[in-house]
Amino acid sequence: MVKLADVAKIIRSKNAGPYLLTIDIILRDKKCYEKLREVLTETSIAGLYGVGRDYIVGIYSIPSILAMKIVLKRIVPSGEPGDGDVYGAQQHAPLLGLELGDC
């Protein structure tokens, strides 16, 4: 079973203002990219992050560069008490083990 971390060229996250996070995923291979588009749904993201689907602002595909972008609402605004990642730079970690089948 192939995991996203094994086939991605880039997986990164960062703040998009104090209330949103963006996650960028760029793949090396079209077959794996197509599989990611099937697997990466609001339901799968909500499960991985332990949030309701209302926290997912959008999932965007950019086929020309084999990329996906996810925009999420932050549970705790950046810099507020309880925020463990002010820059949002570690928020892509739950996606690393996402299984893509045998792409």
Q: In which residue are the tokens 């560069």 written?
A: 65
Domain extent, residue 64, equals 4-75
Q: What's the rounded mean pLDDT across residues 81-102?
A: 94
In a domain, 87, yes or no: no
pLDDT band at residue 103 under the 50/70/90 scheme: confident
Question: Residue 22 contacts by C-beta under 8 Å, 6 or more apart in sequence?
Answer: 13, 14, 15, 16, 69, 70, 71, 72, 88
Instruction: Determine the pLDDT at residue 98.
Output: 95
Q: Is residue 43 part of a domain?
A: yes
Query: How far is 37 from 65, CA to CA, in rounded Å?
Result: 13
Residue appearing with tokens 């730079």? 89
Mean predicted lDDT score pLDDT of the chain:
96
Q: Give the total number of structural domains in the chain.
A: 1
| Per-residue model confidence (pLDDT) at position 30 | 96
pLDDT of 27-66, one tens digit each? 999 999 999 999 999 999 999 999 999 999 999 999 999 9
Residue 66 lies in a domain: yes
pTM, 2 dp: 0.92
Is 89 in contact with 13 (CB distance < 8 Å)? Answer: yes
Domain-embedded: residue 95: no
